[in-house]
Structure formats: C-alpha cells, structure tokens
C-alpha cells in the first residue's frame, strides 16, 4: 500500500543542513511557503544545526517543523517515514550512509528521491529491495539532481518530439555538454572518490561499472555495441573536439533504465552516450586531451591510499560550496542529437539557470519531490524508478515553470 494521504507532512527534507539541503530548504520555502500549498518539515541528526538553519531561513521558517533522525538509526528513520508521504534525502555518499533510509522507506511504503550518482549503490538497492518496494507501494527515484535529470528528461523530451515529428523514436541519441559554469559539489567529489576506492579493491565491481545496462532489469540488453568516449575525439555534427564527461557514467545508465522501464520505448537496440565539447581547432583538441588526462589522474589518485589524502586536500569537502552569488552566475547548456533508424535527425537543447551541482540541483530535486507528492497517481506501482519513467511530462512542466530549466527543439531534418 502507498502512504496514506492523511500523513502529517507531504515532504520531509532529510539532511536539510547539508549544503544542497540548505539550498533545497530555501527553495521550498520561497516557492511554496509553509503550511499553505505544502506541509513539510526538515530533518537531520543535529537539533542545534536544524534550528540554526531555521534562523538563517528567516522569520517565514519560524514554525518549520524539525524531526531528529540519524542516518544509521533505523527506528528513528521509520518513525520519520511514518509522518510523511515523501522523503527527499541529501545525505551522501549514499553508498556509505544511504541504505538504512531506503530500507525504512520501502518498509513503510514511503516515496523517496535523492541526488545520488553512485551506480554501484543503486544496483545494490534494486537487487535488495525492489520486490519489497513493489509490495509496499514505495516509489524510489534516485538521481534527481544534475545527475541525471537533465540527461534523462532531455532524452525523454527529444523522443517525445521525434515521435511527434517523425512517427518514430530515435534509435541513437548523443548528449554534448556545450557549456557549463559551476563547481563540483563536495558530496559529488566524495561519492566519486568512494567509487574509485571501491572499484580499485573489487574486480567484479569494475566489470559492473563498465556495463551500460548495469541497473537495467536482466532481460533488457542490446546486441548493438554502446558508444563510450574514452579520450579526445572530433565530433562532425557540431564541428568541435570532445572529451569524456565525468557524469556520463551514471547518466547513461539512468537513460537505459528509463528505456527499459518504459518497455523499450526508445527501441531495444537504442544507443546513447555523453561527452563534453571542448572547442574547435588546436585549442579545442588540447583542451580535450587535458580533460581526459585530468580525469584519469583524479580517479587513479583517488584509488590509491598514498595519494588519496592529497586529492582530499584540494577538492571541495562535503558541506562546502559556492556563494549564492556564484550559484546565480552558474548555468549549463546541453545539446542532444537524435537519429531515427531511417536517418532522420533532431537536435534539441536543455539549459539551466543556476550552477549545475548546487543551485540548479537544489531546484530540480525539490520539484522531483513535489512531483512525487502531488502528481504521481496513487495507483502507480512501487519499485525503483527513474525521473522520466515515473514523473515524465509532469516533471518537465515543473522544471520549466519553476526550476529554471528550458527544453527546446533546435532543428529537425
């Protein structure tokens, strides 16, 4: 059974005092208020920090309810879940701290979303709890931040337009990061370092991380080799050089799971990849090689204990992030190229008006939670979903009307 509509709260923000949690809490307060169109609460392990957050949010937050729960306290987590219809979690790395809350949501039939980008952890959660989530009615939606809403909803939007224009979906889609301004969040860096550390110690995990269908149902596979950019490469479509996009490792997996959960709507032999545009000519080529080398050095250093401390010294730490002014100055601009089986082409554009890892992620995560709370029909079954497969056009409308994203068709031919 799904959570009763008479729960005390529509949404509880768990980890509200984290850097993204604070952005999210401010966004919900400024956009939806308190106790008007939305009944919500903030939660975490420190009452003092939660009360400090309320003070920083201003007088409008004076009556914002506070729930105390530690990420490792199963009893407290279940008590928290019993009070709400939706949990939004910002407590990562999720591979280290996330499982008890997912288990509590599954067992209480509480809907849940987060901003993880840890594909190996998602695989474990699906394997361990999907059948139980289907039984309890809990809808679990991972990856509701910059990884992977712009990619997942970007492909969903492109395929909607392709079907309307060509009468068929695109068999091949490529996403290219045209431009972006912002910093990696400390939580994202910590998650990436944890993945590198786990993979270095586990050959089986390394093999799984290389599988583009790693979080798809076992029966969903493709005979077509999936593209995967490993180094600098020239892109004829946009006449630019490309470098690997670090978020592609999770985004591609989410897009393929979305296809699987929509009964192969994009096609059983659908292919998808992501990359960064680095520019034209010699300058673009050098930048592509530089990014490729830098990513390799980061993951190598993160996986080796003697050098991991050095990486940790120079990267953002969890809880750290840019100023509000820097968040507003940030943005992202993504381009998608889709081709149908008979050679027709569509090019689309997805943009965000804040820095990807913080300001925009906070708004996307908030709207995913709102969509779960108010837009998903009660009869939609429980289980482990993706943003596009469960929230689809309702989330797209929220992203464009509330969260500062745009989705646009640039060209069809």
Q: Are residues 123 and 231 in the same domain?
A: no
**With the CA atoms of 80, 81, 83 and 84 taken in that order, what torsion angle do they form, in degrees rounded to the nearest 10?**
130
Counted domains in the chain: 2
Which sign does the torsion angle of CA 96, 256, 148, 233 carry? positive
- pLDDT confidence of residue 1: 44
Question: Are 135 and 284 found together in one domain?
Answer: no
What contacts 402, CB < 8 A, 6 or more positions away? 31, 363, 367
Tokens coding 294: 């830098």
Whether 232 and 318 share a structural domain: yes
Which CATH number goes with the domain that contains 45? 3.40.50.720
Cα separation, 295 vs 15, in Å, equals 29
Let me know if residue 3 belongs to a domain.
no
Question: Which tokens is 29 given?
Answer: 């307060």
Indicate if 267 and 255 belong to the same structural domain: yes
Q: Identify whether residues 17 and 128 lie together within a single domain.
A: yes
pLDDT of residue 110: 98
Looking at the structure, tell me whether residues 365 and 347 fall in a common domain.
Answer: no
15, 82, 263 from 104: Cα distances, Å: 15, 9, 29
Domain for residue 185, yes or no? yes
CA atoms within 13 A on the CB side of 375: 16
Give the residue ranges of DSSP H helices in 210-352: 248-261, 281-303, 305-314, 324-329
Tokens of 183: 């910093």
* Residue 263 and residue 278 share a domain: yes
Domain membership of residue 2 (yes or no) is no
Is 140 found in the same domain as 42?
yes
Has residue 4 been placed in a domain?
Answer: no
Gyration radius from the chain CA atoms: 21
Same domain, 319 and 192: yes
Per-residue pLDDT of the chain (413 residues; tens, 9 = 90+): 455 667 999 999 999 999 999 999 999 999 999 988 999 999 999 999 999 999 999 999 999 999 999 999 999 999 999 999 999 999 988 999 999 999 999 999 999 999 999 999 999 999 999 999 999 999 999 999 999 999 999 999 999 999 999 999 999 999 999 999 986 666 666 666 776 667 667 777 677 778 999 999 999 988 999 998 989 999 999 999 999 998 998 999 999 999 999 999 999 999 999 999 999 999 999 999 999 998 877 666 666 666 655 556 655 666 677 778 888 889 999 999 999 999 999 999 999 999 998 999 999 999 999 999 999 999 999 999 999 999 999 999 999 999 999 999 999 99
Upstream peptide bond of 376 is cis (omega within 30 degrees of 0): no
Domain range for 105: 9-146+360-401
Domain membership of residue 1 (yes or no) is no
Q: Are 289 and 379 within one domain?
A: no
321 lies in the same domain as 374: no
pTM for this one?
0.93
Looking up tokens 């987060």, which residue turns up? 114
Same domain, 299 and 310: yes
């Amino acid at each position: 059974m799904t959570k009763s509509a008479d729960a005390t709260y529509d949404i509880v923000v768990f980890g509200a005092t984290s850097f993204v949690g604070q952005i999210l809490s401010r966004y919900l307060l400024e956009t939806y208020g308190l106790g008007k169109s939305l009944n919500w609460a903030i939660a975490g392990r420190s009452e003092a920090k939660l009360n400090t957050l309320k003070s920083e949010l201003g007088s409008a937050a004076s009556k914002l309810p506070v729930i105390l729960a530690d990420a490792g306290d199963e009893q407290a987590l279940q008590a928290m879940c019993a009070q709400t219809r939706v949990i939004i979690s910002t407590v990562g790395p999720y591979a280290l701290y996330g499982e008890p809350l997912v288990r509590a949501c599954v067992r209480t039939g509480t809907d849940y979303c987060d901003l993880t980008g840890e594909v190996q952890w998602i695989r474990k959660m699906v394997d361990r709890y999907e059948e139980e989530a289907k039984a309890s009615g809990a809808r679990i939606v991972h990856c509701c931040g910059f990884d992977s809403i712009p990619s997942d909803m970007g492909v969903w939007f492109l395929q909607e337009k392709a079907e309307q224009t060509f009468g068929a979906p695109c068999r091949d889609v490529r996403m290219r990061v045209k431009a972006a301004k912002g910093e990696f969040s400390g939580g994202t860096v910590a998650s990436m370092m944890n993945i590198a550390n786990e993979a270095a110690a586990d050959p089986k995990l390394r093999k799984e991380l290389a599988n583009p269908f790693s979080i798809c149902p076992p029966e969903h596979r493709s005979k077509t080799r999936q593209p995967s950019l490993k180094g600098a490469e020239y892109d004829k479509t946009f006449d630019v050089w490309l470098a690997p996009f670090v978020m592609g490792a999770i985004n591609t997996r989410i897009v393929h799971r979305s296809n699987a959960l929509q009964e192969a709507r994009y096609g059983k032999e659908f292919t998808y990849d992501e990359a960064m545009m680095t520019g034209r000519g010699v300058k673009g080529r050098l930048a592509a090689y530089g990014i490729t080398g830098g990513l390799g050095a980061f993951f190598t250093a993160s996986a080796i204990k003697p050098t991991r401390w050095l990486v940790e010294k120079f990267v953002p730490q969890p809880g750290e992030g840019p100023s509000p002014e820097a968040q507003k100055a940030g943005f992202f601009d993504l381009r998608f190229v889709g081709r149908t089986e008979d050679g027709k082409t569509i090019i689309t554009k997805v943009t965000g008006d804040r820095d990807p890892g913080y300001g925009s992620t906070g708004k996307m995560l908030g709207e995913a939670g709102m969509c779960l709370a108010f837009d998903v029909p009660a009869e939609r079954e429980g289980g482990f979903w993706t943003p596009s497969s469960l929230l689809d056009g309702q989330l797209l409308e929220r992203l464009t009307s509330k969260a500062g994203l745009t989705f646009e068709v640039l060209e069809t031919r």
